[in-house]
Structure 1
Amino acid sequence: MNNFINSLTQMHLRGFNAIETATQDWLLGLAARLVFAATLLIYFWKSAATKLGDGVFGFLSPSDGAYIQIFPKAFESAGYASSALGAHHQLIAILGMWAEFILPALIVAGLFTRLASLAFIGFVAVMTFVDIFGHAVDPATIGAWFDGNPSSLISDQRVLWVFLLLVLVIKGGGTLSLDQLLMRVRSR
């Protein structure tokens, strides 16, 4: 019986070691970027689009929607007049809008993947803080871990987003990324 169990164990180890060796340089980074593209890219780009101001230079002057989303209490206190907010509010709104466009594009392309993913983790943390304290979302929306209900929009979804991004911070974009292409070109 011991020989049979040892044989099964060895077969298991050889099989999964072969899979790990064959995929370690490319699969996780590529898969994480594809999952990010399939689930979060358009979500964040649509969110960023709601923050664009009018006209060609809308990327330099955020819409009222940007202030409502990013500074809900300050915007309300200012009588919903963006002109009554300070320059730092405008700068943060512009940077937030740009982050929602640029960071997902960098992640999907696999360019500066680790830094973009780390920055996006920070973005998700700030977004979560604003949602909980600025928009005062209800406890059901916040949810809780280990509650048997995986559908909360904040605690459950965002921990999965951060985990996906952590894979990219640790593993990078993988062999099939612009990061690797740049490294090959640079090493020539």
Structure 2
Amino acid sequence: MVNSPLEPVTAPLNRVGDEVLPLLARLVFAGVLLMYFWNSGLTKVGDGIFGIFTPGSGAYVQIFPKAMEAVGYDISQLNFFHWAVVVSGTIAEFVLPFFIIVGLLTRLAALGMIGFIVVQSLTDLYGHGGIAHEGTLGAWFDGPSDALIMDQRALWMLCLLILVFKGAGALSLDRAIFRQG
């Protein structure tokens, strides 16, 4: 392996980057997406202390728009599968962001959020007809950077991929609990 003449400069940058990038990714996630997902989760929770297990009709409309339309927006006509997906999705909207913020099981939580965003995007495009709405899908390399799906969610995924590949970084519960060395 050939060492670069710049290695005395790049090696410390690499070490600092391994600590700082994940911390910054978690900070950006907290600043940009935490309240987005928590507020979205709150729209799905039913009444009472166990409301997370009795989601309202809005939860089903958000997650299963075509199924709800097919049953005339009557939740009682949906089955256990629908309930389980809505409840687990709602729990994920609270738990996964929390785990990312505190840096607990960060790689797994970031992978879960990536899966969540993929399902969310597909639901937006196909379930809610996002493809039909001009500008929702967007396109890369087109100039504007404000499309909800291709542009914004690609940046969300990049932030989460940093956590998948680098872990939680400094100042995390992962570091405190699973300290190596």
Q: 1:58 & 1:49 partners in 2: Cα distance?
A: 10
Contact 1:47–1:100 under 8 Å retained in 2: yes
Give me the identity figure in percent. 48
Q: Which residue of 2 aligns with 1:38?
A: 31
* Worse overlay, 40-49 or 175-184: 175-184
Taking structure 1 as the reference length, what is the TM-score of the superposition? 0.88
CA drift at 1:18: 2.9
What's the offset of the Cα at 1:13?
Answer: 5.4
| Separation in 1, partners of 2:175, 2:97 | 18
Alignment-mate amino acid for residue 12 of structure 2: A
Could you tell me which runs of 5 or more consecutive residues in structure 2 were left unpaired when the two chains were aligned: none
Q: Deviations over 1:95-151 (max 9, x none)?
A: 010000000000111000000000110000000000000000114111111111101
Q: Which runs of 5+ in 1 are unaligned?
A: 1-8
CA distance in 1: counterparts of 2:7 and 2:147, whole angstroms? 37
Q: Which amino acid aligns with 2:100?
A: I
Match of 1:27 in 2: 20
Distance 1:122 1:149 in 2: 26
What residue is the counterpart of 1:168 in the other structure? 163
Q: How does 1:15-164 map to 2 (within 5 A)?
A: 15-21=9-15, 23-137=16-130, 138-164=133-159
Deviations 1:7-36 (A, max 9, x none): xx95x6544433333x13420111110000
Distance 1:24 1:183 in 2: 20
SS at structure 1 position matched to 2:110: helix
How far apart, in 1, do the equivalents of 2:17 and 2:177 lie? 20
Q: Alpha carbon RMSD of aligned pairs, Å?
A: 1.7
- Where in structure 1 do 4 or more consecutive aligned residues deviate above 6 Å? none
For this pair of structures, how many residues does the alignment match?
176
Instruction: Tell me, yes or no, if the aligned pair for 1:72 and 1:135 is still in contact at 8 Å.
Output: yes
TM-score, normalisation: structure 2: 0.92
Compare CA radii of gyration and give the structure with the larger one.
1
